Amino acid sequence: MEPIRTVIADDEPLARRQLRALLQRDPQIALVAEAASGAEARNAVEQHQPELVLLDIRMPMGDGFSAIESLRNKPYVIFATAHAEHAVRAFDIEAVDYLLKPFDDERFDRAIRRAKDAIRARRLLDAVHDLADEGAAAGAPAATDPGRITVHEGRRISWIEIRDIEWIEAADYYAQVHVPGKTHLVREPLQKLEERLGNGFLRVHRNALVNVAKIQRLERGDDAELTIVLQSGARVPVSRSRRASVSRQLVNR
């Protein structure tokens, strides 16, 4: 994976130093700029076009929101702030995560993993769009196979055996297909995949299907939360509205 271009924006030098040290542990992150104010943050984003910004909220010369809200091509944002009261607004603009200072390394790493997943999906989506444009220009026919799913990876087309799929999650008008150790993007919405794959796959969330044959166990947590644990160790949460039906269907199989 190509390193993720990243910008840090925080008016406190100590906070920037802490974030820099945490990011430098990860070879998949490339720190391209730092900023100490809202205005500097906006300039850094416009100049370097990062994919990820770690952003404080209260800064001089414009807050964190003003640095990104009107940008045409917004980066993914992780807010890192001491002010909890802005969380709702942060998620309204689709922030990846909201780190409340002080946070520990584990919480930081979890936020970075979320950002990586989102960026990886967007890169795949961009690649698919490019390939689709090329295919349309060349008049290339679509390949179909009832036992396999077509996958576009850059300029290559390959196929996944349906029996190897662990779970599938929605990605706008596409879907991310998870097989052991890898994730692929396919040009097919989750609803159509569910119809095509049939009873071997179970809808456990509005945005997720799991391969029943790959389920290892169910786990119940606090407040009756239900999680499906797959054979690879991957964990897929079951939505509140589907808990009863998922439990019933698995027990009756």
Q: What is the pLDDT of residue 146?
A: 63
Query: CA 122 to CA 116: how far, in whole Å?
Result: 10
Strands 167-171 and 29-35: unpaired
Same domain, yes or no: 243 and 180? yes
Percent of the chain, pLDDT > 70?
88
* Torsion angle of the four alpha carbons 124, 126, 127, 133, in this order, in degrees rounded to the nearest 10: 140
Give the domain CATH number at 113: 3.40.50.2300
Q: Which of 101, 120, 139 is a domain's end point?
A: 120
226-230 sheet: strands from edge to edge: 215-220, 226-230, 235-238
176 is a domain residue: yes
Give the domain CATH number at 156: 2.40.50.1020
Same domain, yes or no: 65 and 106? yes
Beta-sheet strands, E only, within the chain: 4-9, 29-35, 52-55, 76-81, 97-100, 148-153, 156-161, 167-171, 174-179, 182-186, 201-205, 208-211, 215-220, 226-230, 235-238
211 is a domain residue: yes
Sequence-distant (6+) residues with CB within 8 A of 119 are 4, 51, 52, 76
Which among 114, 235, 244, 110 has a CA at the least distance from the CA of 178?
235
The tens digit of pLDDT for each residue in 213-240 reads 999 998 988 777 899 999 999 999 999 8
125 is a domain residue: no
Same domain, yes or no: 155 and 66? no
The tens digit of pLDDT for each residue in 143-164 reads 455 678 887 666 667 788 999 9
What is the domain range of residue 22?
A: 4-120
Same domain, yes or no: 172 and 115? no
pLDDT at 245 over 60: yes
Mean pLDDT of the chain: 85
pTM above 0.85, yes or no: no
Task: Domain count for the chain, please give it.
Answer: 2
Sequence-distant (6+) residues with CB within 8 A of 83 are 57, 58
Query: CA 81 to CA 90: how far, in whole Å?
Result: 11
CA distances to 17, 18, 50, 53, 83 from 25, in Å? 13, 12, 19, 17, 26
